A and B are shown apart, each in its own frame.
Chain A
Amino acid sequence: MRFAWRLLLTAALLAAPGWGATGKNKSKAPAGLIYVLANDDNGSLQSTVSVYQASDTQQGPTLVFEKSIDISGRGIGGGFFGTSRITMLPDASAQCLYASNASTGDIAAINLQSQQLAGNTSGYRRDKGNTNGIGLVMNGQYLYAGYTASNTIGVFAVQPGCQLSFIDDVSVSGLSGGWIGGMALHGNLLVVAYGDGSIQSFNIANGLPVSNNDEQNSAGFASAYFPESVDITQDGHFAIFGDAAIATTVEVSDLSSGKLAPTVQYSLGLPTNAVGPGLNSSTVRLSPDQTLLYIGNSQSGNVTAAFFDKSTGKVTPGCATAKLNGFYNPWSYIGGVVTRDATGTGGVVYAAEFGSSLAVLTVTSNGTSCSLTESAASPVGDDLSPGLLSIQVFPPRPF
C-alpha cells in the first residue's frame, strides 16, 4: 500500500508542469523510464549513440534497443578501457548527454528529452584523441575532455540547450610521459590516471585544471600495476582506481587533504601467476549506496563486485560473475560498468562488451556476501558499435 502511494506521488510529481525546469537545461524527465546509452564509437561511418530502455524488473532484466542518435562525427572503435567516452550532467532533471568522437576530435551534445543532437564542439586543433579516445567527465558547469593523443584536457562550459562552449585546454602528462586515461571529479577536484602508472589531481575551482602538485606513482607502479580508471566517493573522501593488473587489484587514495595521498593497494583475488578470472581491473564504479565497488575485468571477461567501506576506504573481496556469455566470441574485452538504479546497490549492472554488446547482470548483496548473475537475456547486441567501451545510465547516479 505504501509502495503504491509512493508510486502515485512520484508519478504526480513527474507529470507536473515545469518539473525540473528551474535550471537552464532542466526539462521534463521521462516518467520512470531508465535508459542505457552507449557511445557506439564507430570509426568507419558516422558514429551514433544507441539508446536502450531498461526493464525495471529484478528478475530477468534486459535492455530493449529504442533508437540510435547520429552524433555527426567518427569514433575509433577502441582505445583505453578506463576512458569513458560518454557522460551526462549529474542531475536527473538536466537531460544533457555528451559523447566524444575521437577520430573527428569533437564532442557531441545530445538533448535526451528530444533525443536529438544539439550540436558538436571541438577544442583546439591540437586537441586530439584519435589514438585511444577522448574521455569525458563533468559537473554542473564544466565538461572536461581528456585527449589521449595530445595529452591535453579541454575545458568546456555547459550552455543552455545542452550546448558546450570551449574555454581552453591544459597539457598534462604522466610522470613517465604516460597518456591521460581515466578521469573523475568531485567538487573542486579532478583526478586523473595516466597510462604509465602515475596519478594526479587538479584544482578546478576556476574551471581550468590547476595541478595540486601531487603527481605520484601509484602503489602498484612498482609491480607494473597501472591505474586505468577512477571513481570518487560521494563525499569526496576517497578516490578508487582500477588497475591494469594480473589479478583483481584496486587502489584507494585518501583525498581528505584536498590532494591525492599515496594509494593503498587491494589485491582481491588470484595468485599472481594465474591468468584467468580477474585479469585487469580496468574499470571501476561505486554502487549508489557505496557499499559495492563494481570492477570490469577487461581481459578475463567477467565483472567483480568488491565490498567497499566508505568510512575507511577499505576494499574487501565480494563476488564475481563467471565468464560472461560470448567472451572471445564475439566480443573480447569488458569496458565500462554502470548500474541501473540510482539507489542501493544499483540492482542491475550493465557492462560494455568490446565487440558489439552489453552484458546485463543482477546484483544481490546482504552486506557480507553478494552475487552477480548474468541475465538470461544477456548479452544484448549493439549492432552499431564495432568496439563498444563506454556506456551511461539515465537517470544518473547521484554523484
Chain B
Amino acid sequence: MRVLFRVILQLLLWAALPAGVAGQTICPTWPAPGSPVLNPLDLYSQNGTLSVNLTLQNQKEDDGYMHYCYVYIYQGQAIEAPTLRLNPGDQLILNLTDNIQAPYYRDPDPASRKHSVPMQHMHAAATTQHALKLDDPCNGTMIEPSSTNMHFHGLNISPTCHQDDVINTIIQSGDPAFQYNIQVPPNDAPGMYWYHPHPHGYTTTQVNGGASGAIIIEGNLQGTQGLPERVMVIRQIFQNPDSWLPGPNELTVNFQPATYPLAPSPVVNVQYGQAEFWRVVNASTQAFLTLQIQFGSTPQQLQVLALDGVPLQSPVYQTKIDLPPAGRAEFIMPGLPAGQTGTFMTLGYDSGPVGNPNPPQELASIVGSSGKKAPPPAQAAGRQPTRPARFSGLAALTPTTTRSLYFSEQTIGSNGPTQYFITVNGQKPKVFHMDDPPAIVTNIGAVEDWTVENRAGEAHAFHIHQLHFLLMAINGVPVPNPELLDTITIPTWSGSGPYPSVTLRMDFRDPNIAGTFVYHCHILDHEDGGMMAKILVNPAN
C-alpha cells in the first residue's frame, strides 16, 4: 500500500517521457502468455574469462508499463538478460552501458513542480538535480532516474569500484560503457547468483522493469549430472499502474506473465518420467514466494540441493520452499508420471497486516510428453575449488562481537509515505542517505553474531552485500544445521510479544571484502525508501 506515493512519482516521471520513446522497439518483446518456458541465453566463460557487453535501456510499453532491459546483442539479435556462467576463479568483464531515457523535471514553473514532486526528502535519493555528465562513475555524486549501476547479488567479492560497489559507483545515461572486472573467488561454491541494478532510490523501478539476470557458478551439485537443467528467473512487474494498490502480484517466469487465470500459464514442457534440475531465483521486487510443484493435486517432494548459491550440507526433501525476494533455490524435480500434468506455483505468503499481499499464484503448468525436447543437461563437474570453501568452519568459531539490529517503520498514512529503518540497537532510527557514515565499523578477521529483529507489521528480507551469513538461530532457538544464505525473511511482528528475530553469523575474515558496503531489506521499495545502512570493514592491521 505504501508504495503508492513512489508509484505516483514514477507515473509522473513516465508521463513526462520524451515523445518518441513510447512505441519504439528498444527492449526485446516478451513471450506471449501460454508459451513454453525457455532458459535464458547462456553465456559461458572461455579460457577463464567471460566478456559481456550489456546495455540497460528502457521502453514505455503500450500499456504504460516501463520496461527496463539488459540487452545483449547475439548474432545480430537483441537478447534480454542472458545468464552469465562462470567457473570458480574465472574473470568476468562486463561492460555496462547506461542508455536509460528517463525524463527529468524540467518544469519551468518551480511552484508547479513543487506540487507534483511529493516528499522529495523522504525519498532520500529522489533528487531532481542533474548530474554533471563528466562525473567520475567511481565517485558518483548524483543519482537520477536515468542513473544505474550493477550489484552481483551473492558473490563474495570486493566492494570497490569496477567490482561490486553500489555506494560510489553511479553510471549516468550517455556515459561511455562502464567496465566491471570481477574475479569469482576460486573457493566459491557452485550455485546460482544474480545481477541487478542498485541505484539507491531507483532500484525498484529498474528491477520492476525487468532489469535482472542469473549468474551460475559452475560446478557439480550432487545428483544433477545429466539432468535437464532449467533456469527460471521469477520477476515481478506492475504492468497496470493500479496494481500498485493492494491486489495480486504480477509475476513473470522468464519474462512470461504468470497471471493465470487471467491469462494462460507459462508452459514447462518435460519428458514423462524425467527428473529435472531446476534453478530458481526470486528476482521480484517484493514478493515472498512459497514454491511448490504439484503433480495432479499432489505436492511433490523436491530435493533441495542449494540455497542462495551455496550447496546445503546435505540435500533435504521438502514439498515447499520459502524464497524471500532475492533468494535462490536449486532443487531436483521428480519425473512427471506419464499421463499426468503438473503445476509450478507459489502458495502465497502472509507478509503481515501492513505488508503487501502475496497471494497464491500458478507460475507455470508442467506438461509432459514422451518426445519433448528437454533443456540441455546440467554440466558435469566444472573446475573444482582449489582452496577450502569460503566460510568453512564458521559454525564452530567463537564470535568476536555480537550486535543487535532491528527493522522498523514509521508511516504518515496507510497508503504512505513510510519511513523505513534498519537500526543498530542504541542508535536512532533514520532513513538512509547515501552520504551517511557507516552504522557499523568492524575489521577484517572479525566473526560477528548479529541478531536482527523485525519490529514492524510486515515481513522484511535481510540482505548483506559481499558475504553470506550462517543462520544460527531463529527467535533465539538454535538452528540444528546452520546453512549459508545471503537473504533471509524475518517474519511479521504480531503486535505483541517478542519481536521475531534471526541470529546470523557474519564472516569478515576474507580480506577481499575490506571496504564500505551495505545491508538492507530486499523488498526493494523499502530499500529505496531508506531501510538500508552502511558497514565499514577496515583492513586487517
Contacts and interface: CB of A to CB of B under 8 A. Distances in A.
A369 interface: no
Given A131-B8, A132-B413, A323-B495, A275 B406 contact: yes
A173 B115 contact: yes
A328 B353 contact: yes
Contacts of A329: 353, 494-495
B457 interface: yes
Contacts of A223: 428
A176 interface: yes
B409 A273 contact: no
A178 interface: yes
A270 B514 CA distance: 37
A280 B457 CA distance: 14
A79 B115 contact: no
Contact of A333 (B8, B414, B416, B455): B414
A228 B417 CA distance: 12
Interface string A263-304: 000000000110110011010000000000000001101000
A340 to B, nearest CB: 25
B477 interface: no
A387 interface: yes
A399 interface: no
Contact of A80 (B413, B431, B496): B413
A101 interface: no
Nearest to A279: B410
Contact of B413 (A78, A150, A332): A78
A88 interface: no
B119 A178 contact: yes
Given A246-B429, A273-B426, A327-B495, A299 B411 contact: yes
Task: Name, among B4, B120, B495, the residue most crowded by chain A CB atoms within 10 Å (CB to CB).
Answer: B495
B354 A332 contact: yes
B5 interface: yes
Contacts of B493: 328
Contact of B428 (A171, A273, A355): A273
Contact of B121 (A196, A246, A280): A196
Nearest to A329: B353
Contacts of B427: 273
A66 to B, nearest CB: 26
Given A131-B4, A323-B496, A327-B496, A177 B114 contact: yes
Interface residues of B, number: 43
A279 B416 CA distance: 16
Contact of B410 (A133, A245, A273, A355): A245
Contact of B415 (A132, A301, A332): A132
Nearest to A179: B118
A78 B353 contact: no
A103 B81 CA distance: 39
Given A329-B494, A332-B354, A78 B410 contact: no
A245 B113 CA distance: 28
A224 interface: yes
Interface string B438-450: 0000000000000
A108 to B, nearest CB: 21
Interface in A198-252: 223-224, 226, 228, 244-246
Contacts of A76: 415
Contacts of B430: 224
A308 interface: no
B428 A79 contact: no
Contacts of A327: 495-496
Contacts of A301: 495
Contacts of B5: 131-132
A226 B115 contact: no
A35 interface: no
Contacts of B431: 224
A151 interface: yes
A149 B413 CA distance: 13
A169 to B, nearest CB: 12
Given A176-B121, A328-B457, A244 B496 contact: no
Contact of B457 (A228, A282, A332): A332
A81 interface: yes
Given A177-B120, A273-B426, A273-B428, A150 B410 contact: no
19 contacts: A78-B414, A80-B412, A81-B411, A131-B8, A176-B120, A177-B118, A179-B119, A195-B119, A195-B417, A244-B412, A245-B410, A273-B426, A273-B427, A323-B496, A328-B495, A329-B495, A331-B353, A333-B354, A333-B414
Interface of B: 1, 4-5, 8, 111, 113-115, 117-122, 352-354, 406, 408-417, 419, 423, 425-431, 455, 457, 493-496
Given A177-B114, A244-B411, A272-B428, 13 more contacts: A81-B413, A173-B114, A173-B115, A176-B120, A195-B412, A224-B430, A228-B412, A275-B455, A323-B495, A327-B496, A328-B353, A333-B354, A354-B414
Interface of A: 76, 78-83, 131-133, 149-151, 171, 173, 176-179, 181, 195-196, 223-224, 226, 228, 244-246, 272-273, 275-276, 279-280, 282, 298-299, 301, 323, 327-333, 354-355, 387, 389
